[in-house]
Amino acid sequence: MPRESEFTPSSSWCPEPELWEAYDYDSTEREVTDLVAAFVRATKPRLVLETGTSYGYTAEAIGRALLANGRGRLVTLEHDAALAAIARTRCRDLPVEVLARDSGLWTPMPGESIDFAWLDSHIIQRVHELVRLRPHFSAGAIVGIHDTGPQHPVHELISKLQLPFPRIRLRTPRGVTFLEMP
Edge to edge, the sheet with strand 114-119 lists 96-99, 73-77, 47-51, 114-119, 137-146, 176-180, 167-170
Residue 165 CA neighbour count, 13 Å, CB half: 23
Angle between helices 57-69 and 81-90 (to 10 degrees): 40
In the bound state with ligand SAM, the residue whose beta carbon lies nearer, of 27 and 172, is 27
39 three-class SS? helix
Query: What would the x/- binding string for ligand SAM be over residues 103 to 142, using CB under 6 A?
Result: xx---------------xxx--x-----------------
Nearer to ligand SAM, 80 or 112 (CB): 80
- Of the candidate residues 6, 16, 18, 26, the single one contacting ligand SAM (CB under 6 A): 26
- Report CA 17 to chain centroid distance, whole Å: 20
Which CB sits closer to ligand SAM, 28 or 148?
A: 28
Contacting ligand SAM within 41-80 (CB under 6 A): 50-54, 57-58, 77-80
Number of residues that bind ligand SAM (CB under 6 A): 23
Contact present, 65 and 90 (Cβ < 8 Å): no
Closest residue to ligand SAM: CB criterion: 52
Which parts of this chain interact with ligand SAM (CB under 6 A)?
A: 26-28, 33, 50-54, 57-58, 77-80, 83, 102-104, 120-122, 125
